[in-house]
């Protein structure tokens, strides 16, 4: 019978060691999960900031391009109006002679 008691004590020790190991593994997994989550949050913020900066830069470039095109169109429109006015004046002069 003493042998059965020793087996029971060994089983209890094995179970306690197993539980301690399981807890250590679960704690390590939880710690990794926390670290990975923090890294992912930081990475997400960095990506969002980078995308926002690129969008701002592109928006500024587009505004500049649009302003340039607007100026060119206004200049061309003034030129067309001037030429049209000159043509109308010449047509009127020709009609009056």
Comparing 54 with 92, the larger pLDDT belongs to 54
Helices (H), the chain: 2-96
The vertex-45 CA angle with 43 and 49, nearest 5°, equals 120
Confidence tier at 48 by pLDDT (50, 70, 90) = very high
Quick one: CA dihedral 48, 50, 51, 57, positive or negative? positive
Whole-Å CA distances, 54 to 37, 47, 48, 58, 65: 26, 11, 10, 6, 16
Instruction: Say how far apart CA 64 and CA 6 lie, in whole Å.
Output: 86
Q: Is the pTM here over 0.85, yes or no? A: no
Instruction: Say how far apart CA 9 and CA 17 lie, in whole Å.
Output: 12
């Amino acid at each position: 019978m003493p042998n059965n008691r020793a087996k029971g004590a060994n089983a209890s020790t094995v179970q306690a060691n197993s539980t301690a190991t399981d807890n250590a593994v679960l704690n390590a997994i939880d710690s990794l999960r926390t670290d990975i989550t923090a890294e992912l949050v930081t990475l997400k913020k960095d990506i969002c900031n980078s995308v926002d900066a690129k969008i701002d830069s592109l928006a500024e470039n587009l505004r500049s391009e649009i302003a340039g095109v607007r100026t060119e169109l206004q200049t061309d429109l003034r030129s067309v109006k001037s030429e049209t006015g000159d043509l109308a004046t010449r047509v009127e002069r020709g009609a009056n002679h």
